[in-house]
Structure 1
Amino acid sequence: MMRTCLTATLLALSVAGAAHAAAPATAEVELKPTTGSTTTGAVRFKQQDGQLQIDADIAGLAPGVHGFHIHEKGDCSAPDATSAGGHFNPGSSQHGGPQNPAHHGGDFGNITADASGKASLHLTVPTSQISLDAGAANSIIGRGVIVHADPDDFVTQPTGNSGKRLACGVVVAGK
């Protein structure tokens, strides 16, 4: 009887642990405007089954195309957000668009704002590129997210010539 109860308890704990491990990891960002900008927004990340889904909603942009990247530091303290450093590049790759075989982990490409200044992004990348895994070299937790004034040209090294930083936020792990 005792052995049966112990086996059942261990099985229940194993199943609970497996269910917990399978739960998606999440993170979010609140984008705040840099000095002289009105750009704000939110970015949500959901990691599951080897994929990281990125969903962003941004407002206060000039209509048109804007660069959108993860930067190496989660520091938005400078009025122009230069404190966030350069693009997050855990693979030491050349800059490029997300469709290029070689690009920075934080190269999400461009977002396009409509006539009212709103833009959204829905992108999925493999967790081998970037992840929410605590302590991993490619983890974006604690990194900065930047919306730029100009389009990313996907060619100019190392930043894509995306211009002024309009908004900055830090990736915070979900609970």
Structure 2
Amino acid sequence: MKTGLVLLMIISAVLMFATAGSAQENTTDNTTDNTTDSAVAILKDTQNNTVGFATFNEDDFGLVRIQVLVSGLTPGLHGIHIHESANCTGPSFTSAGGHYNPLGKEHGFVNLKGPHAGDLPNLVVGYDGTGDMDVITNLVTLSPGPTTLFTANGTSLLIHSGPDDQITNPAGNSGERIVCGVIEKK
């Protein structure tokens, strides 16, 4: 499993730099502000307690940086995904629907038919119950288009009780939904 995770990280880094590099070569805009759109999600647990937040920032090249900060969670790896509905009705958060998947892919970064647009690497939570994530993705956008997070139904960010295996449909065997936040434009 460690080899698969390392391979996933290498592939993700190569794709990220290849996408950013090709976008930079084709740009003629010399502005210094690289942020075109931003969003935020206030993350709440099953008891409706605020346990963290997430920010989403899209740059001029269409890459979205997602930063997450949480506390009060069980130490270890937790699956974290963008879901297809802006509804975080607790305690089970099933109202958020399935993973955000506008292109009809299968789940997981190591799935040859994947990933879903809403798939993200596992969130690492330390022994003190805090976790943070800082990832860049080209699978979603904040600007208009087929993978925008601002659909008619909106989207949400969910954290699961266990780790995501990055291959099993529909959610990587990542367990119960324990934290949810509606993604809202800033």
Greater fraction of residues in strand: 1
Amino acid at match of 2:128: S
Q: Are residues 1:137 and 2:150 paired?
A: no
Normalised by the size of structure 2, how large is the TM-score?
0.74
Q: CA deviation at 1:73?
A: 0.6
Question: Which position in structure 2 is the counterpart of 1:102?
Answer: 114
Q: CA deviation at 1:113?
A: 0.5
Contact 2:71 2:130 (C-alpha < 8 Å) held by counterparts? yes
> Unaligned regions of 5+ residues in structure 1, if any?
1-17
CA distance in 2, matches of 1:38, 1:112: 20
Q: Percent identity?
A: 34
Secondary structure at 1:151 match in 2: coil
Secondary structure at 2:44 match in 1: strand
Structure exhibiting the larger radius of gyration computed from Cα positions: 1
Question: Which position in structure 1 is the counterpart of 2:180?
Answer: 168
Amino acid at match of 2:80: F
Question: Which position in structure 2 is the counterpart of 1:66?
Answer: 78
| Alignment partner of 1:46 out of 36, 51, 57 | 57
Q: CA deviation at 1:66?
A: 0.4
Aligned CA RMSD, in angstroms, stands at: 2.3
Question: Which position in structure 2 is the counterpart of 1:15?
Answer: none
CA distance in 1, matches of 2:34, 2:164: 36
Q: CA deviation at 1:91?
A: 1.4
Cα distance, 1:57–1:111 mapped onto 2, change above 3 Å? same
Q: Are residues 1:147 and 2:159 paired?
A: yes
Aligned residues: 152
Q: Which runs of 4+ in 1 moved over 3 A?
A: 98-101
Deviation per CA, 1:112-168: give whole Å up to 9, x if none.
100111111111112xx200014x221113201100001001121111011111111
> Unaligned regions of 5+ residues in structure 2, if any?
1-29
Q: Are residues 1:75 and 2:87 paired?
A: yes
CA distance in 1, matches of 2:163, 2:101: 19
